[in-house]
Structure 1
Amino acid sequence: MSVRLLLAAAAPAAATVLAQPVGAYDLTPGRLWSLVAAAAGLAGVVLGGLALARPTGRFGSGSWRVRAVMALAAGLTSMVIGGLVVAAAKGGPGTGYGIVGGYVDLVIGLIAMVLGGLAVARARRTT
């Protein structure tokens, strides 16, 4: 069999699979990446909040600096993945591309970066 014959046979089958509607609870790759970015962004928000609160714990006095930098990294990760999901989406909300989650990831990542940035700025003032 030639490659052209295989492609000609596979194209209608792929078109019918891609044309099927996506359910509201189906986990598509776009939605999965949006969830991964949301988890990273939420971790960044928590770490940024902990860095701003500066709790004294068993980890020493410098652990809040590490948390602030980790919040910046997690927020940046969330924003990059969310931006890629939004850029790769070929449809609007409800199409399964995860575009709503991508926009949410951009907001959560921005919040995490602001909290981490505030904590780093405060670290520079006090040091």
Structure 2
Amino acid sequence: MSIRHLFITAILAASTLAVPAVAHASAQPMAASVTTMSSGRVGAIVAALVGLTGVIIGGLALTGRLRAGSAAVVALLAGLIAMAIGGLVVATADGGLGTGNGLGGAFVGLLVGLASSVVGGLGLLRSRRAV
């Protein structure tokens, strides 16, 4: 066997072994850039902001600065909407945390939505007792 024949055989063997590794690497989701706004990130931001708005409105209803009944209902609904959007982002995220799919923000949206629902529920209880 000549050196040329061995060299060609080695290149073919190396490229044959490298193809599955390259295919596996290309199948992995790529992490998004810091400045890229993916749909998951936008959904997570919306969920967190809606939930935060609900917490603020519910807190104002509990302190008596807003009409307790209607503000508590708004806070409760905002919490439910935030949890629905956050749950949708969690369910449709392709990668894990840090891949740019909004998964971390969706968990924040779920938690803030839960807090908004709790504060809204407390405001509803308080408004029902006062009547």
Q: TM-score, normalised by structure 2?
A: 0.74
Aligned residue for 2:110? 106
Shift of 1:90: 1.4
How many equivalent pairs are there? 105
The percent identity for this pair of structures is: 46
1:29 aligns with 2:33: no
Q: Does 1:117 align with 2:121?
A: yes
Structure 1 stretches (4+) deviating beyond 3 angstroms? 18-21
The answer as to 2:52 corresponding to 1:54 is no
Structure 1 residue runs without a partner (length 5+): 1-15, 57-62
- Paired residue secondary structure (1:124): helix
User: Any conservation in 2 of the 1:24–1:94 contact (CA below 8 Å)?
Assistant: no
Partner Cα separation in structure 1 for residue 34 and residue 113 of structure 2: 25
Give, in angstroms, the shift of residue 19 of structure 1: 5.8
2:5 equivalent in structure 1? none
- Give the CA RMSD over aligned residues: 1.7
2:79–2:112 Cα contact (<8 Å) kept: yes
Deviations 1:23-47 (A, max 9, x none): 1231111000111111110110000
2:96 alignment counterpart: 92
Normalization by structure 1: what TM-score? 0.77
Equivalences for 1:35-74 in 2 at 5 Å?
A: 35-55=45-65, 63-74=67-78
Secondary structure of 1:23's aligned partner: coil
In the alignment, the residues of structure 2 paired with residue 102 and residue 67 of structure 1 have an alpha-carbon distance, to the nearest angstrom, of 25
Larger Rg computed on CA atoms: 2
